[in-house]
């Protein structure tokens, strides 16, 4: 194959991927963008822009210490998205959202948009409250433990793949839950693992989550756990959220 033929074949493959992955990408996206990716057959659709049936308020210490928030105060907005409403019945109130269903091993797809004003501080919690940080960290050459794409207070992203405010961004996350022994604790070789792509770029590659040094470290390891969206004072929007559950195998865990 000549060089010209090789380059043409790569162009055809890239074009075919973009056609199947979703709507046309913008100049700032990459050829691996999953923006607008539709849920495959068998996926659990958590949010498609129509309702909050898959969600409930999340209770955690200072967020809702009395566990008395029954009503969802988030709201539906344009572009089939959801956004936090900071006030409920005329009073300011914090509220995280939590899936009613819990999951073990899964692939998560989610899209978010940072607001034009403010830091855009938010997060997506996977497993027993490991937080994938959402923040406006554009232009930062060396992102830290609290920047966009970091596993909060645990691991910095391999690259800064975050985009700026006002554009939709994608998270594609593959999570393997911890292997829990008969004693109820994580086995020595069975730590949870995660692979994450932000805007199509690999930022965490099969990372072993054996350290629990974030502020949610007291939350116990469980075979299944919910997915949680954080409200942290910024009007971050979310849309197109779905999960594909995977079957865990003993062999795959022993190979790690």
> What is the full DSSP assignment across the chain?
--HHHHHHHHHHHHHHHHHHHSSPP-TTS-TT--TTPPPPTT-EEEESSS--TTEEEE--TTSSTT----S---EEETTTEEE--SEETTEE---EEEESS-BSEEEEEEEEE--SSS---EEEEETTTEEEEE---TT-SS--TTSTT-BTTTB--SS-----TTSEEEEEEEEE---B-TTSSB-TT--EEEEEEETTEEEEEEEEE----STTTTSPP-SSB--EEEE-SS--EEEEEEEEEE---HHHHHT-
Predicted pLDDT of residue 84: 86
| Tokens (6 digits) for 218 | 């007291």
CB of 225 closer than 8 Å to CB of 209: no
More confident residue, 143 or 139: 143
More confident residue, 61 or 158: 158
Take residue 108 and report the two structure tokens written for it.
């998560």
Task: Of 227, 109, 256, give the one whose Cα is nearest residue 173.
Answer: 109
Counting Cα atoms < 13 Å in the Cβ hemisphere of 120 gives 25
Q: Give me the CATH topology for the region 25-254.
A: Jelly Rolls (2.60.120)
Tokens of 83: 């956004």
What are the φ/ψ torsions at residue 173 (nearest 5 degrees)? -125, 130
Looking at residues 196-212, what average pLDDT do you find?
Answer: 91
Sign, Cα dihedral of 165, 136, 118, 64: positive
For residue range 65-110, what is the model confidence (pLDDT) as tens digits? 777 788 899 999 999 999 988 877 777 778 899 999 999 999 999 9
Residue 113's pLDDT is what?
A: 97
Lowest mean pLDDT segment, chosen from 41-55, 77-91, 215-229: 215-229
| Angle 96-100-101 from CA coordinates, rounded to 5° | 125
pLDDT at site 82: 97
Q: What is the pLDDT, as a whole number, of residue 215?
A: 62
Neighbours of 106 (CB within 10 A): 21
- What are the residue ranges spanned by the domains of the chain? 25-254
Quick check: 241 pLDDT over 80?
A: yes
């Amino acid at each position: 194959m000549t060089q010209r033929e090789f380059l043409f074949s790569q162009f055809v493959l890239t074009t075919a991927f973009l056609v199947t992955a979703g709507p046309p990408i913008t100049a700032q996206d990459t050829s691996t963008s999953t923006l607008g990716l539709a849920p495959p057959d068998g996926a659990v659709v958590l949010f498609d822009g129509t309702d909050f049936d898959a969600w409930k308020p999340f209770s955690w210490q200072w967020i809702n210490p009395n566990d008395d928030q029954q009503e969802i105060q988030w709201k539906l907005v344009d572009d089939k998205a959801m956004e936090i409403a900071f006030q409920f019945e005329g009073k300011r109130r914090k509220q995280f959202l939590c899936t009613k269903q819990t999951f073990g091993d899964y692939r998560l797809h989610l899209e978010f948009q940072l607001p034009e004003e403010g830091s855009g501080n938010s997060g997506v919690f996977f497993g027993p409250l490991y937080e994938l940080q959402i923040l406006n960290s554009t232009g930062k050459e060396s992102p830290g433990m609290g920047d966009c794409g970091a596993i909060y207070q645990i691991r910095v992203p391999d690259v800064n793949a975050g985009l700026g405010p006002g554009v939709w961004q994608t998270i594609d996350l593959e999570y393997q839950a911890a292997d829990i022994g008969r004693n109820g604790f994580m086995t020595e070789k069975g730590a949870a693992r995660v692979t994450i792509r932000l805007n199509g770029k690999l930022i965490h590659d099969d990372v072993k989550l054996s350290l629990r040094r974030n502020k949610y470290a007291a939350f116990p390891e469980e075979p299944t756990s919910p997915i949680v969206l954080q409200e942290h004072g910024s009007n971050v929007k979310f849309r197109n959220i779905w999960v594909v559950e995977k079957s865990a195998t003993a062999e795959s865990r022993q190979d790690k």
